[in-house]
Amino acid sequence: MDLDYVKLGDGRLVAFRELGCPREAALRSLLVLHGLGSSRIAAIPGVRQELLEEFGVRLVVIDRAGYGKSDPDPNQTLRSSAVDLEAIIDKLELGRRVWLLGYSGGAGYCWAAARYIPHRIHGIALWAPVGNYWWKGISDAQRKSMISTLTPNTKLLFSYMKYVPPSILRLYARFVLARRAGQRWVDHCKATLSPPDQKHLAQHEFAGLLLKDNLESITFNQGAGLAKDLELLCSCDWGFELDEVGRCFAGPIHIWQGSDDRLVSLELQRWIKSTLPQTVELHELDGEGHLSWFCFNDDSHRRVFETLFAQSPASEMSYRSSDRSYSTRRKLENANLV
């Protein structure tokens, strides 16, 4: 199912798509939060249906507020986004607790979920995740060092965007960024990202998905979601400190971060790991960028699932009666054994 909607209590519609196992057969639910300039279309880029079935995963990918076909939320905060996630979990019957996967900018909302709705989360996978460079405990020297490795445009975002009024951000997203959606966005990525990412983007299949995903992400709502991301994620104040997450959520939180990522700092992830050593596991990916390890890489997807689900119960769904994997059930059904 590529497009469906769930209606929130205030009447806003959230677009989503599902892959993997149907609700009745799933062992676990994985809710994916996409990054800046992305949408539900990307999902886990290139993930195979057979792999999702093997691990019994019901994969749900939403268009975050103001992205794709989801209604914007002009009053959105990181905290309200977590409240929305809990409503989505209930309305889609994803289970008492779910797994989260946040890619890039989507990770900011995973951090918020760990802070505000920890009782609904089994664990979190973060891929090249953004963080708050102004979290308590990061010194000016550390912050400068972290940001120094990023692309010029990304440095500007995290250094100066916090001073820009939200009304100007909305105009910038609508009349500048939204008009660069599609091929210009892809070309910019090819020109500015690290060599491993550029090599990955040379693959026609991935470049085609990125083009389609970015057009879907920005054009319908004229960049409303992107403007809100710039307002919230580039702010000095996320509404919570990192140590609060550690007190609220026991984990696990797994971070996968490439050493050659020019959009997110590896040094930031090392600081996060040192701050929450009992909660966070950091997986450093030598020679990888922001896209290269995560997209259209079956070995990587398998490794992430094995890491997340190795110690989890055979069935995590409150409405699930059988502990057989979906792929096993299908094989038995095909053989008329069930």
How is 225-291 classified by DSSP, letter by letter?
HHHHHHHHHTSS--SS-HHHHHHH----EEEEEETT-SSS-HHHHHHHHHHSTTTEEEEEETT--SS
pLDDT digits (tens, 9 = 90+) for 127-149: 999 999 999 999 999 999 999 99
* Between residues 115 and 318, the one the model is more confident about: 115
Going by pLDDT thresholds of 50, 70 and 90, the confidence category of residue 315 is low
* Between residues 334 and 231, the one the model is more confident about: 231
* Structure confidence at residue 313 (pLDDT): 59
Best CA proximity match to 200, nearest among 128, 282, 289: 289
**Confidence check: pLDDT of 323 > 60:** no
* Structure confidence at residue 337 (pLDDT): 37
* Residue-number span of the structural domain to which 237 is assigned: 4-334
The total number of residues written for the chain in this structure: 338
* CATH number where 9 lies: 3.40.50.1820
- Number of structural domains (the chain) is 1
Cβ atoms of 226 and 67 within 8 Å: the answer is yes
* Structure confidence at residue 336 (pLDDT): 43
**Confidence check: pLDDT of 325 > 50:** no
Residue 300 to residue 277: CA distance in whole angstroms: 24
**Confidence check: pLDDT of 60 > 80:** yes
Percent of the chain scoring above 70 in pLDDT? 91
* Structure confidence at residue 122 (pLDDT): 96
